Amino acid sequence: MFGGFPFEEFAGMHGGMGGNPREKKEVDNKKFYDLLGVKKDASENDIRKAYRKLALKHHPDKGGDPEKFKEITTAYETLCDKDKRELYDQYGEEGLKNGGGMRGGGDIFSQMFGFGGRERDQGPKKGKSVQHAIKVTLEEIYNGKQSKIAVNRDRICGKCEGKGGANGANSTCSGCKGRGMRTQMTMLGPGMYSQSTGPCSDCNGTGECIDEANKCKNCNGKKVVKEKKVIEVSIDKGSPHGEKYIFHGESDEYPDREPGDVIIVVNEVPHSVFKRKGADLLLEKEISLLESLTGCDFVVDFLDGSKFRVQSAPGQVIKPDSLMTVQEKGLPFHKNPYRFGNLFVLFKVKFPETLNESQCVEIKQ
């Protein structure tokens, strides 16, 4: 609640679902649960079990329907991701449209069941992407912002071209037989063992070894070197909180892998005067009882440095928690900065604690 004004209704204003700002749009958020055959309060484990069963039945490699498999995979990826599930529960599939694409089912099925039939078509593995949050004020969201972020990353060594040493110096690691992983058995008790698999300590998971004499002096055989990169990011006018700006291939690089991405995430700083929903703004204004009965007139210091005047209509009585709409005095629409949301002024009437006798007489007259 915004002091008596329903938050849910404010969410339906210009920056949200559009239409009448006091109407709440119905949201279809049952489809994904129905596809997996689970209840809305299902745990992640329940969702995972349901997906495993359906994926085995509908996977194209098993003679299933590709479209059906794609649908249940999309449902699974959404409901097993806390943030995506929250968006879906609140806004349905519409709320997921700006949240990035799904992976299509092939890779996640392989991860869960160990089927590798589709792996050969996926090309080189991709390095890990990194996220950086950037704090942005409401003023900067209104006006747009240019910002720079310094990123420390690994890049392929230019001296050895990612080989780690001289040509022919690399040999298959004898510890892991080139697999990069080693399995260890640990005795827990008589007849009881625990098995664990992890990166090979001899080659640091690379599957290769380089003798000390032939290691590249620039990278010490690591094949990569540290590098500092300054990334310039343009924050669009009207960018929502959580908006992601993706710089493809700007993260860590490693031989035989695609470089990862750098993802810049907008972190909107709460404003001291305005509250935001999409492109709409809410301003709480405290007025006296006299102003509520005879009219109010005040100036608003706005986000672009300008000032504008707000007046109530002559003879209008302003009731507590009533709203005034100031057209097109909200934020620019994201991706459409020539359109603006509205400013909603929520009036809070301050009543006097007591009245003296003469004031009571004057009011009665």
- Give the C-alpha separation, 86 to 323, whole Å: 30
Helices 106-113 and 66-79: crossing angle, nearest 10°? 70
- Give the C-alpha separation, 175 to 152, whole Å: 32
Q: What is the dihedral of CA 272, 277, 280, 282, to 10 degrees?
A: -40
Q: What is the dihedral of CA 209, 213, 215, 218, to 10 degrees?
A: 160
User: What is the chain's length?
Assistant: 365
Cβ 142 vs Cβ 332: under 8 Å: yes
Residue bearing the bigger pLDDT, 66 or 114: 66
pLDDT score for 276 = 96
State both tokens at 357: 């006798």
Over residues 18-28, mean pLDDT: 49
Helix, strand, coil percentages (3-state) for the chain, rounded to 5, are: 25, 30, 45
Q: Under the phi-then-psi rule, with left for phi > 0, alpha for psi from -120 to 50, and beta for the rest, what region is 177?
A: left
- Give the C-alpha separation, 183 to 190, whole Å: 20
> In the Cβ-directed half-sphere of 150, how many Cα atoms lie within 13 Å?
3
State both tokens at 156: 């392929």
State both tokens at 14: 């210009």
360 pLDDT higher than 70? yes
| 327-348 pLDDT per residue, tens | 999 999 999 999 999 999 999 9
pLDDT score for 124 = 63
| 45-95 pLDDT per residue, tens | 888 888 888 888 887 777 778 888 888 888 888 888 887 888 888 878 877
2 pLDDT higher than 50? no
Q: Which residues of 94-106 are buried (b: 16+ CB within 10 A; e: fewer)?
A: ebbeeeeebeebb
DSSP symbol at 131: E
Range with top average pLDDT, 9-18, 39-48, 55-64, 310-319: 310-319
Residue bearing the bigger pLDDT, 167 or 265: 265
Residue bearing the bigger pLDDT, 242 or 188: 242
| 221-274 pLDDT per residue, tens | 888 999 999 999 999 999 999 999 999 999 999 888 889 999 999 999 999 999
350 pLDDT higher than 80? yes
Domains of the chain: 1-123 (1.10.287.110), 156-224 (2.10.230.10), 274-364 (2.60.260.20)
The residues facing 266 across adjacent strands are 134
Percentage of the chain surpassing pLDDT 90? 41
Q: How confident is the model at residue 20 (pLDDT cuts 50, 70, 90)?
A: very low
Q: Which class for 144: exposed (0-12), middle (13-18), buried (19 or more C-beta within 10 A)? A: middle
Over residues 210-227, mean pLDDT: 88
pLDDT score for 97 = 64
pLDDT score for 189 = 64
Cβ 292 vs Cβ 349: under 8 Å: yes
Residue with tokens 């995430």: 265
Q: pTM of the predicted model, to two decimals?
A: 0.59
Over residues 202-224, mean pLDDT: 84
Q: For all residues of the chain together, what is the average pLDDT?
A: 82
pLDDT score for 5 = 47
CA distances from 177 to 105, 201, 202, 254, 318 (A): 32, 12, 11, 21, 80
pLDDT score for 26 = 62
Q: Could you tell me the sign of the dihedral formed by the alpha carbons of 37, 42, 48, 49, in that order?
A: negative
Over residues 20-44, mean pLDDT: 75
Over residues 306-321, mean pLDDT: 93
Cβ 41 vs Cβ 84: under 8 Å: no
pLDDT score for 48 = 85
The residues facing 196 across adjacent strands are 184
Over residues 11-39, mean pLDDT: 63
The residues facing 225 across adjacent strands are 155
Q: How confident is the model at residue 356 (pLDDT cuts 50, 70, 90)?
A: confident
Q: Which of 17, 271, 333 is nearest to 144 (CA)?
A: 333
Least confident residue range of 154-168, 177-191, 292-306 = 177-191
CA distances from 364 to 98, 189, 256, 358 (A): 59, 92, 87, 10
Q: Which of 346, 348, 345, 343 is nearest to 278 (CA)?
A: 343
286 pLDDT higher than 90? yes
- Give the C-alpha separation, 356 to 354, whole Å: 7
pLDDT score for 63 = 75
